[in-house]
């Protein structure tokens, strides 16, 4: 039997909440889990591996096709939700904004991938850390547009945030 104690008695046993301690135990776990989840990457750091490369042309084609399909899905969902009365709640408005941001992100990411393939030299040159690297072909328009496309997270992160806000609004409507 697993028992965690807060000094006054056992408040959780084998995953089941005891009567009288249930709400307090849930609140403690709700606050403890995000703190632990935030500290684990800081305690055990490793490489972020945030840049994804595609082996050969077939990997890039499949990836680009995924961007096209996701773009089409977001545009279709946007037009489906746009003028209908049953989709005018706060949650659906957030999801609609999310669709537009995801569609924009797909356009930017698709363009960036195409430009990466068009450039004859490696995109970034320099040292081993990201702070020592520089854009190698920044004089041409392709290099500058590619540099702007590298900031695609400025669309992707708000899109995910608006989607999350929409889901939260849906959950609150059900209560």
Q: Indicate if 63 and 141 belong to the same structural domain.
A: yes
Q: Indicate if 26 and 87 belong to the same structural domain.
A: no
Q: Is residue 50 part of a domain?
A: no
The pLDDT score that the predictor gives to residue 17 is 47
Question: 117-134 burial by CB neighbour count: b if 16+ within 10 A, else e?
Answer: eeeeeebbeeeeeeeeee
Q: Indicate if 68 and 101 belong to the same structural domain.
A: yes
Q: Is residue 49 part of a domain?
A: no
Q: Is residue 26 part of a domain?
A: yes
Cβ neighbors of 63 (< 8 A, separation 6 or more) are 54, 113
Helix (H) or strand (E) holding 166: helix 153-174
Q: Indicate if 63 and 28 belong to the same structural domain.
A: no
Q: Is residue 90 part of a domain?
A: yes
Q: Indicate if 68 and 115 belong to the same structural domain.
A: yes
∠ CA 143-149-152 to the nearest 5 degrees?
160
Q: Is residue 61 part of a domain?
A: yes
The pLDDT score that the predictor gives to residue 138 is 56
Asked if 71 and 108 touch (Cβ cutoff 8 Å), the reply is no
Q: Indicate if 88 and 164 belong to the same structural domain.
A: yes
Q: Cα separation of 144 and 12, whole Å?
A: 57
Q: Indicate if 94 and 38 belong to the same structural domain.
A: no
The number of distinct structural domains making up the chain is 2
Q: Is residue 152 part of a domain?
A: yes
Cβ neighbors of 127 (< 8 A, separation 6 or more) are 133
Q: Cα separation of 68 and 28, whole Å?
A: 44
Q: Indicate if 14 and 81 belong to the same structural domain.
A: no
Q: Indicate if 101 and 21 belong to the same structural domain.
A: no
The pLDDT score that the predictor gives to residue 45 is 66
Q: What domain range is 169 assigned to?
A: 56-174
User: How would you write the pLDDT of the chain (175 residues) with one tens digit per residue?
Assistant: 445 554 545 444 445 544 445 566 667 777 778 887 777 777 776 666 566 666 667 778 888 999 999 999 999 999 998 878 777 889 999 999 999 999 999 999 999 988 888 877 666 677 777 667 666 655 678 878 888 888 999 999 999 999 999 999 999 988 8
Q: Indicate if 150 and 67 belong to the same structural domain.
A: yes
């Amino acid at each position: 039997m697993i028992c965690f104690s807060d000094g006054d008695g056992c408040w959780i046993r084998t995953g089941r909440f005891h009567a009288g301690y249930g709400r307090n135990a849930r609140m403690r776990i709700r606050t403890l889990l995000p703190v632990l989840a935030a500290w684990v990457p800081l305690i055990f750091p490793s490489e972020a591996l945030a840049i994804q490369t595609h082996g050969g042309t077939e990997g890039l084609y499949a990836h680009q096709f995924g961007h096209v399909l996701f773009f089409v899905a977001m545009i279709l969902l946007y037009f489906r939700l746009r003028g209908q009365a049953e989709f005018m709640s706060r949650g659906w408005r957030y999801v609609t904004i999310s669709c537009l941001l995801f569609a924009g992100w797909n356009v930017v990411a698709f363009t960036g991938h195409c430009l990466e393939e068009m450039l004859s030299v490696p995109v970034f040159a320099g040292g081993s850390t990201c702070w020592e690297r520089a854009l190698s072909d920044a004089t041409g328009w392709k290099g500058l547009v590619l540099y702007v496309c590298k900031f695609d997270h400025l669309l992707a992160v708000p899109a995910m945030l608006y989607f999350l806000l929409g889901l939260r609004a849906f959950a609150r409507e059900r209560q």
